[in-house]
Structure 1
Amino acid sequence: MNFLEIQFQLRGKTLPADHGYALYSAVKQAVQNAGEPLTFSGNIPADVRLCSISGIPDKDGMIYLHRGSRLRLRCPVDQVQLWYQLMQNQVLDIRGHLIRLVQPQLTLPQASETLKARLVTFKLEAIDHPDVPYYFLESCKKGLNRLEINAQASIDSTPEGDLARRTLQVKEKKILGYGVVVEGLSDQDSLKLQWYGLGGRQHFGCGWFYPVREDADAA
């Protein structure tokens, strides 16, 4: 479980607020265009995690990039050099919004007793049933148990005090999820959760956990 995070500063102005799938598609296109010496067969490996990009929302489905906006990628240490070279100075087209990745930095993951994820998704039978939060938390609990992590998961709330219910657009389908807080983590389990995440669609930015102190940058 030795992994590092690469953070790329951005040159650009705006992005769609819901850009997780489009970001994945743009990175996948960069991999396919690179050809050799990459050994990924034109796909992003399963053990690579992408985080959606933070920004200032305009309440109309867009975000404005700011000085702290970053593209963040976690990968095994033996892939760092490949991703560093591939993505540096790369221009990504995210649904017509162009961003350039510059000045990459490598960071070590930091353990924290409490972690948050902006969006976690599971395969739920229905998304408008009143019991969905219950089944969602049951899925979180099962996910933590599979990872042998002893901690407590809860659904996060918005600044207005509502449940942090969010959706991810993948092609023509909207996928329901929630913001999640996990508390009571040991250092080892904190790093494990940051690596393995919870739920699906992790190539699209879902299940990306970060220390609570980063919360201000995790729009």
Structure 2
Amino acid sequence: MNFLEIQFFLRGQTLPADHGYSLYSAIKKLLKENQVDLLNEDNLPPEILISSISGIPNKNGMIYLNKNSRFRFRCPAEQAPQWYRFLQNQVLDIRGHIIRLIQPRLTLPETSEILKARLVVFRLEQWNSHDAPFYFLESCKKAMEKIEVNAQVSIDSNYDGDLALRSLKVKDKNILGYGLLVEGLNNEDSLKLQCYGLGGRKHFGCGWFYPVKEEINNAA
């Protein structure tokens, strides 16, 4: 399990707050236009994870990029050199918001006993506010058992103290999920969860785990 993370600084000003699917679409479009053989049956390889880009929200569906904003991309180590070369200095059009990927660097995910994910999604048979948290957590536990990760999971809370219910727009459909907190991880399981992610839509920014200290540093 050798994964690397590629981080890019950004040149640009704004992005849609909900940009996960549009970011993925822009990358796929570039691959097709440049005829680069990195697609897997017209999609990004399933082992690729892409993070949504952080910024300062304007409360009107948009974020302002700042010094902490990064494009982050995890992949198997053997794929990293090709992705690094291809993505460097690429210009992405995210629904009319233009960003350039600059100053790339390769890093290893850091181990942490506690990890968070902004949004994890599962396909539940039915979704209602009363039962969804139970079935969501059950799905998390089953998914973690499948990748042999042993830890405690809980739904994160938002700034108001409510369950962190969030959504991702894919074309004309809203996909619902929750922010997730995972505690009690050993070093091996911490790396495994960050490299494999959890749930679906991992090309769109979902299932991306990070150490809690990143959240503190980005808020500073």
State the 4+ residue runs in structure 1 displaced beyond 3 angstroms.
Answer: none
Would the aligned equivalents of 2:165 and 2:176 in 1 still touch at CA under 8 Å?
Answer: yes
- Following superposition, the deviation at residue 130 of structure 1 comes to 1.1
- Following superposition, the deviation at residue 123 of structure 1 comes to 0.2
- Following superposition, the deviation at residue 8 of structure 1 comes to 0.4
Would the aligned equivalents of 2:31 and 2:38 in 1 still touch at CA under 8 Å?
Answer: no
For residues 142 and 69 of structure 1, do their structure 2 counterparts lie closer, same or farther at Cα, with a shift above 3 Å needed?
same
Distance in 1, matches of 2:190 and 2:34, equals 34
Report the TM-score when normalising by structure 2. Answer: 0.95
Which residue of structure 2 aligns with residue 125 of structure 1?
125
Which residue of structure 1 aligns with residue 137 of structure 2?
137
Which residue of structure 2 aligns with residue 105 of structure 1?
105
Which residue of structure 2 aligns with residue 198 of structure 1?
198
Distance in 2, matches of 1:18 and 1:61, equals 7
- Following superposition, the deviation at residue 39 of structure 1 comes to 4.4
- Following superposition, the deviation at residue 104 of structure 1 comes to 0.3
Distance in 2, matches of 1:4 and 1:34, equals 24
Distance in 1, matches of 2:149 and 2:131, equals 25
Would the aligned equivalents of 2:38 and 2:44 in 1 still touch at CA under 8 Å?
Answer: no
Q: Deviations over 1:85-126 (max 9, x none)?
A: 111100000011000000001111111000000000000123
Q: Deviations over 1:13-48 (max 9, x none)?
A: 110100000000001111112214x34355311111
Distance in 2, matches of 1:176 and 1:39, equals 29
Which residue of structure 1 aligns with residue 39 of structure 2?
40
Distance in 2, matches of 1:119 and 1:129, equals 16
- Following superposition, the deviation at residue 215 of structure 1 comes to 1.2
Say if 2:126 is the partner of 1:156. Answer: no
Distance in 2, matches of 1:198 and 1:77, equals 20
Would the aligned equivalents of 1:32 and 1:43 in 2 still touch at CA under 8 Å?
Answer: no
Say if 2:206 is the partner of 1:215. Answer: no
Which residue of structure 2 aligns with residue 54 of structure 1?
54
**Count of aligned pairs:** 217
Which residue of structure 2 aligns with residue 176 of structure 1?
176
Letter in 2 for 1:35: Q
Which residue of structure 2 aligns with residue 12 of structure 1?
12
Q: Once structures 1 and 2 are overlaid, which stretch shifts more, 39-48 or 202-211?
A: 39-48
The alignment-based identity, stated in percent, is 63
Which residue of structure 1 aligns with residue 94 of structure 2?
94
Where in structure 1 are there 5+ consecutive unaligned residues?
Answer: none
Q: Deviations over 1:121-163 (max 9, x none)?
A: 0001233341111111111111111111110110000121111
Letter in 1 for 2:71: L
SS at structure 1 position matched to 2:59: coil
Distance in 2, matches of 1:124 and 1:148, equals 22
For residues 122 and 39 of structure 1, do their structure 2 counterparts lie closer, same or farther at Cα, with a shift above 3 Å needed?
closer
Distance in 2, matches of 1:25 and 1:40, equals 12
Letter in 2 for 1:24: Y
Q: Deviations over 1:146-196 (max 9, x none)?
A: 111110110000121111100000001000000000000010000000011
Distance in 1, matches of 2:97 and 2:140, equals 34
Would the aligned equivalents of 1:31 and 1:43 in 2 still touch at CA under 8 Å?
Answer: no
